[in-house]
């Protein structure tokens, strides 16, 4: 434990308050998050790592570069090199096939935008049964995990590169949050906290009905959740819960063990944020015929209950991939997304803000396996199913972040 104390010097970089990105875009990414123009082709071997989280049918998720589904492509093994798969032809990235996404729920809040849902991730090469992992802009070398991974959103009516985001991906579920603003007491780094990596989407992203939301598609406004693991108290103080984590470290030839976090799992998040202005859609569609990957119409997106032509169509044409069939496959989808939409009133009300730490140590909701081992290289997770908690141990959780920088 003592050998980590000097690393506390790294803390300022871990609580950086930057909202828009200031460092360079990934080397394999296009300069801007544009839709592909008519006449170009989606490149299913692209190495673009540019994600955009814009709406219920316009978002990207991470997947392995190798789509064979072979065991070595488990997310935990390929975190530094995962690539972007998008629901629309954009960002020079790969395309998520129609039907893969079985539920998507987009929420726009004052502090972040979030997409979560269910999918058949094997359609983009995620290994069957893979509990997946947590991807974020930090990683073992602080270059992003994946390295060169970047994220935009257009919440302000224009595309903006944001610095802080977090995502969980597994073979059957996904969630991504992009932090677009911060307040005096909640920084973007806190709101997109990336160390609760075995707690799963429902807990980390405060989704009340997560497991009841398969096979539906909604877009809502919402209030912001409390930052993951933080429990604001009535008296103005905040208690902090941290994931339990036992690992080994090697340092100057020595090997040792460390444990951070607590052994009791919180029964719930601080509160489930209310949603409003929800619009329900019947499905989403990418508008591309995956028989030949050709973009034959201006991409469209769902907005306020209708299908509209997408803005920011780029000019960079991608050429026809070798091996693409000359004629369109029969399974191709039509270019226009169906948009049978219905509006509903406001969603769930805020829950209580009591911290209610129970004694349950169950980790049944975790969507993602502990990823410390792969992101840190020299850290091995032991007994990763023990999840956490306690009050006022923020420094311990932050220590974990420091350790992963070794
Ligand atoms: C790209 O991601 C890196 C790593 O997270 C970050 O430092 C940089 O600011 C991002 N750049 C852009 C343009 O988003
Ligand atoms: C697709 O992307 C890969 C990786 O960047 C690149 O090598 C290849 O040339 C691209 N294919 C086309 C047809 O542009
Ligand atoms: C979601 O629904 C699809 C059917 O549309 C089903 O195949 C899949 O197993 C469900 N996912 C989960 C996690 O229940
Ligand atoms: C931040 O401050 C606001 C206003 O004082 C308060 O309602 C909220 O609970 C605080 N959030 C945290 C995480 O402490
Ligand atoms: C605030 O309340 C919590 C319990 O909810 C308590 O543990 C903490 O000591 C209190 N802090 C202050 C400054 O009164």
Index of the ligand 3 atom closest to the CA of residue 214: 1
- State the distance from the centre of ligand 4 to the C-alpha of 340, rounded, in angstroms: 38
Q: Over 70: is that where the pLDDT of 16 sits?
A: no
- State the distance from the centre of ligand 1 to the C-alpha of 128, rounded, in angstroms: 31
Residue nearest to ligand 4 atom 12, measured at CA:
232
| Closest ligand to Cα 147 | 1
| Closest ligand to Cα 216 | 3
Cβ of 30 less than 6 Å from ligand 2: no
| Closest ligand to Cα 122 | 3
Residues with CB under 6 A from ligand 1: 21-26, 137, 143-144, 150, 161, 163
**Mean pLDDT of the 286-315 span:** 93
Index of the ligand 1 atom closest to the CA of residue 149: 2
Residue nearest to ligand 1 atom 2, measured at CA:
150
Binning pLDDT at 50, 70 and 90, where does residue 383 land?
Answer: very low
Closest to 297 (Cα-Cα) out of 285, 281, 284: 285
pLDDT digits (tens, 9 = 90+) for 162-213: 999 999 999 999 999 999 999 988 999 999 988 776 778 999 999 999 999 9
Output the pLDDT for position 251. Answer: 58
Residue nearest to ligand 1 atom 7, measured at CA:
23
Cβ of 161 less than 6 Å from ligand 3: no
pLDDT digits (tens, 9 = 90+) for 26-74: 999 999 999 999 999 999 999 999 999 999 999 999 999 999 999 999 9
Binning pLDDT at 50, 70 and 90, where does residue 319 land?
Answer: confident
Q: Over 70: is that where the pLDDT of 380 sits?
A: no
Output the pLDDT for position 339. Answer: 36
Return the sign of the alpha-carbon dihedral for residues 30, 337, 64, 105. positive
- Lowest mean pLDDT of 75-79, 306-310, 330-334, name the range: 330-334
How does the average pLDDT of the chain come out, rounded? 76
Q: Over 50: is that where the pLDDT of 3 sits?
A: no
């Amino acid at each position: 434990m003592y050998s980590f104390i000097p690393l506390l010097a790294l803390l300022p970089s871990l609580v950086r308050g930057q909202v828009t990105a200031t460092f360079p875009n990934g080397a394999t990414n296009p300069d801007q998050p544009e839709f592909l123009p008519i006449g170009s082709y989606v490149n299913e071997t692209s190495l673009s790592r540019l994600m955009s989280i814009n709406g219920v049918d316009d978002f990207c998720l991470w997947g392995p570069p190798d789509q064979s589904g072979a065991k070595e492509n488990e997310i935990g093994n390929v975190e530094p090199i995962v690539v972007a798969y998008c629901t629309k032809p954009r960002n020079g990235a790969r395309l998520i096939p129609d039907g893969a996404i079985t539920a998507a729920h987009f929420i726009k809040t004052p502090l972040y935008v979030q997409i979560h849902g269910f999918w058949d991730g094997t359609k983009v090469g995620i290994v069957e049964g893979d509990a997946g992992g947590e991807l974020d802009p930090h990683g073992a070398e602080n270059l992003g995990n994946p390295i060169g991974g970047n994220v935009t959103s257009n919440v302000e009516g224009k595309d903006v590169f944001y610095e802080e985001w977090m995502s969980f991906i597994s073979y059957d579920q996904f969630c991504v949050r992009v932090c677009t603003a911060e307040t005096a007491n909640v920084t973007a780094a806190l709101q997109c906290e990336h160390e609760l990596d075995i707690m799963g989407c429902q807990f980390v992203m405060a989704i009340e009905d997560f497991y009841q939301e398969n096979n539906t598609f909604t877009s809502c406004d919402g209030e912001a959740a409390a930052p993951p693991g933080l429990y604001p108290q009535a008296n103005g103080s905040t208690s902090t819960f941290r994931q339990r984590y036992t690992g080994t470290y090697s340092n100057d030839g020595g090997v040792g063990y460390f444990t951070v976090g607590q052994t009791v799992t919180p029964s719930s998040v601080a509160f489930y944020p209310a949603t409003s202005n929800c619009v329900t859609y019947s499905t989403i569609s990418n508008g591309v015929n995956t028989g030949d990957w050709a973009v034959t119409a201006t991409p469209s997106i769902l907005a306020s209950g209708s299908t509209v032509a997408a803005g920011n169509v780029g000019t960079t044409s991608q050429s026809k991939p070798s091996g693409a069939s000359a004629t369109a496959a029969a399974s191709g989808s039509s270019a226009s997304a169906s948009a049978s939409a219905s509006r509903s009133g406001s969603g769930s009300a805020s829950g209580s803000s009591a911290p209610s730490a129970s004694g349950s140590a169950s980790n049944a909701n975790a969507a993602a396996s502990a990823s410390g081992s792969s992101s840190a290289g020299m850290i091995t997770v032991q007994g990763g199913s023990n999840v956490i908690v306690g009050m006022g141990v923020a420094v311990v959780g932050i220590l974990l972040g420091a350790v992963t920088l070794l």
